[in-house]
Chains A and B, each alone.
Chain A
Amino acid sequence: MMKVSHVNLWVRDQDEAIAFYTEKLGCELQEDVTIEEMGGFRWVTVSPAGQPDLRIILMPPSAMPGSPETIKKLEDVVAQGAAGGVIFDVEDCRATAEELKRRGVEFTQEPVEQFYGIDAGIRDPSGNQHRLVQRAMQPAEQG
Chain B
Amino acid sequence: MASGDRHLLRARDLIDARYREPLDVAALAQAAHVSPAHFSRQFRRAFGETPHQYLLTRRLERAASLLRTTDHTVLDICMEVGLSSVGSFTTSFKRAYGKTPLAYRRSFPPAARQVPIPTCFLMGATRPPGRMRAPRPLPTLESSSEEDTARMAG
- Find out whether the CB atom of B126 lies under 8 angstroms from the CB atom of A38: yes
Using a CB-CB cutoff of 8 Å, which residues 107-154 of chain B contact chain A?
111-112, 114-117, 120-127, 132-136, 138, 148, 151-152, 154
| Docked CA distance A33–B72 (Å) | 8
Question: Most chain-B CB neighbours within 10 Å: which of A26, A29, A68?
Answer: A29
- Find out whether the CB atom of B121 lies under 8 angstroms from the CB atom of A23: no
- Number of B residues, CB within 8 Å of A: 35
Contacting residues, chain A, for B70 (C-beta < 8 A): 29, 31-33
Contacting residues, chain B, for A43 (C-beta < 8 A): 115, 117
Contacting residues, chain A, for B49 (C-beta < 8 A): none
Q: How far is the CB of B44 from chain A (nearest CB, A)?
A: 25
- Number of A residues, CB within 8 Å of B: 29
Instruction: Decide if A51 is an interface residue (CB 8 Å cutoff).
Output: no
- Find out whether the CB atom of B17 lies under 8 angstroms from the CB atom of A26: yes
Instruction: Decide if A49 is an interface residue (CB 8 Å cutoff).
Output: yes
Beyond contacts A38-B122, A68-B133: 8 other A-B pairs, Cβ-Cβ < 8 A, are A31-B111, A34-B71, A41-B117, A65-B120, A67-B135, A67-B136, A69-B138, A70-B148
A residues contacting B by CB (< 8 A) are: 6, 8, 22-23, 26, 28-35, 38-39, 41, 43, 45, 49, 59, 63-70, 74
